[in-house]
Amino acid sequence: MQLIPCPWCGPREEAEFHYGGQAHVAYPEDPGALTDQEWARFVFFRDNPCGPFAERWSHSAGCRRWFNAVRDTRTYELLSVYRVGEPRPDASERDEVVS
Amino acid sequence: MTADTSVRTSPLAAWTDRLAALAPALDVAERPFLTQLTVRARDAVAVARMGEALGVAFPADPCTSTRGGGPFGDVEVLWMGPDEFLVVAGPDRRALVEDALRAAVRPARGAVVDTSAQRTTLALSGPHARDVLAHGCAIDLHPSAAPTGTCVQTLLARAGVVLRVDDAECDAFTLLVRSSFAEYLAAWLCDASVEYRAALS
Ligand SMILES: [Zn+2]
């Protein structure tokens, strides 16, 4: 089973984690000003890159904290993990690579 | 029909004999009714104050725990998250410990919540304790990887547990499992121990 490195607990089995979709999707500053179309775009539309993708994950069976991870959608390789509030690491700097 | 609610029954009260029968390969016994308090606090000074109140410093590192004696007897503090701890004390200490923690956390913001009924506790030891746990848990429990005091939240046989290493050299562990999962886990422990009982007889 693939190990995912929780930024708090270290490498754990993938079964302990829940997937939370794309990371860094900012909540609209003025939700009331959005048209239905813009609101639908915020709620339902996500990137679908072929390659590195910043995602939210939750260590639901462990420390129950949300964190972010950059995952290569082609290989499933986790390129880096970082805590909520920390900036997204530069894709060229591959730190903490565990797979 | 009325139920007599004055008598407490622990989640594994009916399993005492079946768990005891796993010896000598595995010594398992429930430690029922332990006081368990979930503490949430971010403020490092308040966390240190709570440690002083209990006589046990709160664990600083993820996936570790501390243990010690103080005014409330033996107390364990388990790391549950970056701002979350589980304080485990003897049965019937709840009110005293809860008051002491609430007084210590102020004036910082925090929460002390009684979660004693949420989980029950199993003490595990014996020559095959680590082997049996390895049947259903991917955590490396070798003493070199999991020294005394290691405390992880993980899955054991797909059930969520808190697993603490009480004594790495003696293979002594504590399992905290949700009350509703306790009988399932007890049944799984009995099943996973079968091959070691045969080997010893
Ligand atoms: Zn974690």
Which protein residues have their CB within 5 A of the ion that is ligand 1? A 6, 8-9, 59, 62-63
Residues 6+ apart with CB under 8 A from B36: B86, B87, B88, B114, B115, B116, B118, B119, B176
Q: A61 C-alpha to center of ligand 1: Å?
A: 8
A16–chain B Cβ distance below 8 A for any pair: yes
pLDDT (0 to 100) of residue B1: 60
Give the C-alpha separation, A42 to A61, whole Å: 29
- State whether residue A32 is helix, strand or coil: helix
Task: Look up tokens 């210590």; give the residue.
Answer: B104
Let me know if residue A68 belongs to a domain. yes
pLDDT tens per residue across all 99 residues of chain A? 899 999 999 999 999 999 999 999 999 999 999 999 999 999 999 999 999 999 999 999 999 999 999 999 999 999 999 999 999 887 554 544 444
Contact between B81 and A1 using a beta-carbon 8 Å cutoff: no
Share of chain B above pLDDT 90, in %: 93
Mutate to test the interface with A, among B137, B153, B155, B158 (most CBs of A within 10 A): B153
pLDDT (0 to 100) of residue B7: 86
Q: Which of A8, A9, A61 minimises the CB distance to B155?
A: A61
User: For chain B, which residues make up each domain, given as ranges?
Assistant: 14-32+117-200, 35-114
Let me know if residue A66 belongs to a domain. yes
Q: Is the peptide bond before A11 cis (omega within 30 degrees of 0)?
A: no
Residues 6+ apart with CB under 8 A from B17: none
- State whether residue A56 is helix, strand or coil: strand
How far are the Cα atoms of B36, B71, B139, B174 from residue B99, in angstroms, in the given order? Answer: 13, 13, 35, 26
pLDDT (0 to 100) of residue A91: 59
Share of chain B above pLDDT 70, in %: 97
A61: chain B residues, CB-CB within 8 Å: 153-155, 160
Residues 6+ apart with CB under 8 A from B119: B36, B162, B176, B177, B178, B179
Q: Which of B80, B81, B155 minimises the CB distance to A16?
A: B155
Domain range spanning residue A55? 1-25+49-87
Give the C-alpha separation, B63 to B162, whole Å: 10
pLDDT-derived band at B199 (thresholds 50, 70, 90) equals low
Residues 6+ apart with CB under 8 A from B99: none
Contact between B138 and A8 using a beta-carbon 8 Å cutoff: no
Mutate to test the interface with B, among A1, A63, A86 (most CBs of B within 10 A): A63
One of 3.30.70.330, 3.30.70.1520, 3.40.50.2000, 3.40.50.2300 is the CATH number of B35-114, namely 3.30.70.1520
Q: Which stretches of chain B sit within 8 Å of chain A by CB?
A: 62-63, 80-82, 138, 152-155, 158, 160
Number of domains present in the structure of chain A = 1
Calculate the CA B130 to chain-centre distance: 16
Tokens matching residue A79: 């390129």
The pTM for the full model equals 0.91
ipTM: 0.90
Let me know if residue A92 belongs to a domain. no
| Residue B181, amino acid | F
pLDDT tens per residue across span B126-151: 999 999 999 999 999 999 999 999 99
One of 3.30.565.10, 3.10.105.10, 3.40.50.150, 3.30.1360.120 is the CATH number of B14-32+117-200, namely 3.30.1360.120
pLDDT, average across residues B36-43: 98
Residues 6+ apart with CB under 8 A from B9: none
pLDDT (0 to 100) of residue B5: 72
Residues 6+ apart with CB under 8 A from B32: B8, B10, B11, B12, B13, B91, B120, B121
Question: What CATH number is given to the structural domain containing A20?
Answer: 3.30.2270.10
Calculate the CA B68 to chain-centre distance: 15
